[in-house]
């Protein structure tokens, strides 16, 4: 199986120099739509899980406390440089999204953009997000998802063997993942390529 933590750390370190050229413009609007679904307040403690090169940073409020994590050291370095260039005080750390080194109920907002479809165990990742999120917190998700109301076709599952190794899983379903981890979905907005990419805002039940 190619979709492992070690493989993801390696491949995203290799992708890092090219990541912005591929993802910055393409996902600018989806990121903004997703983050606009959050109800922001000054002083909030915010966690970006799988922050990559920090492409969400320009669209975040300046009056919140921001923590950003990524599995890839190369991505972490680029996110730190982006934060400095923007004049933002961001705590950036190398960390596995499936084993977050934060205490329970620590954050007001957890942002997971373009990570649930690439992590080896998304249910574990969502469970970790729920653990570190306060009971009144908000979960902001933007990613590609298979439709919730029917399973992936045989063709899609076969193709997924390739796509999950080099890019992303194309069979994961948003609602079962989030609801299974104890979230209720308050907003679910298609943001790109029909309903393939969706922005969801959810709260703990």
Domain ranges, ordered by start, for the chain: 5-144+173-204
Residue 44, token pair as written in the block: 């909030």
Q: What is the Cα–Cα distance from 80 to 1, expressed in whole angstroms?
A: 31
Select from 202, 191, 98 the least CA-distant residue to 145. Answer: 191
DSSP state of 24: T
For residue 147, the model assigns a pLDDT of 93
- In angstroms, rounded to a whole number, what is the distance separating the alpha carbons of residues 172 and 152? 8
DSSP secondary structure code for residue 113 in this structure:
E
Note the pLDDT of residue 2.
63
pLDDT of residue 158: 87
Task: Tell me the pTM.
Answer: 0.94
Please report the pLDDT score of residue 71 as a whole number: 96
pLDDT number for residue 163? 82
Nearest to 48 by CA among 105, 136, 3, 115: 115
Positions of the chain with pLDDT under 50:
1
Q: Of all helices (H) and strands (E), which one includes residue 162?
A: helix 154-166
Task: Report yes or no: 185 and 126 within 8 Å, Cβ to Cβ.
Answer: no
Cα pseudo-dihedral 194, 199, 204, 205, rounded to 10: -30
Q: Specify the pairing of strand 133-144 against strand 197-204.
A: antiparallel
Class of domain 5-144+173-204: alpha beta
């Amino acid at each position: 199986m190619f979709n492992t933590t070690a493989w993801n750390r390696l491949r995203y370190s290799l992708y890092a120099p090219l990541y912005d050229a591929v993802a910055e413009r393409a996902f600018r609007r989806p990121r903004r739509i997703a983050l606009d679904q959050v109800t922001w307040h000054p002083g909030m403690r915010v966690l970006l899980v799988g922050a990559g090169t920090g492409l969400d940073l320009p669209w975040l409020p300046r009056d919140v406390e921001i923590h950003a994590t990524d599995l890839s050291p190369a991505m972490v370095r680029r996110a730190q440089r982006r934060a400095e260039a923007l004049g933002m005080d961001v705590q950036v750390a190398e960390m596995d999204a499936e084993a977050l080194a934060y205490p329970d109920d620590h954050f007001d907002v957890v942002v997971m953009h373009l990570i649930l479809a690439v992590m080896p165990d998304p249910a574990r990742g969502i469970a970790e997000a729920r653990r570190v999120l306060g009971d009144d917190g908000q979960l902001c998700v933007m990613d590609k998802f298979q439709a919730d109301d029917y399973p992936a076709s045989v063709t899609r599952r076969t193709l997924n063997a390739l796509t999950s190794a080099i890019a992303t899983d194309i069979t994961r379903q948003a609602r079962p993942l989030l609801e299974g981890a104890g979230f209720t979905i308050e907003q679910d907005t298609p943001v790109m390529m029909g309903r393939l990419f969706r922005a969801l805002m959810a709260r703990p039940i």
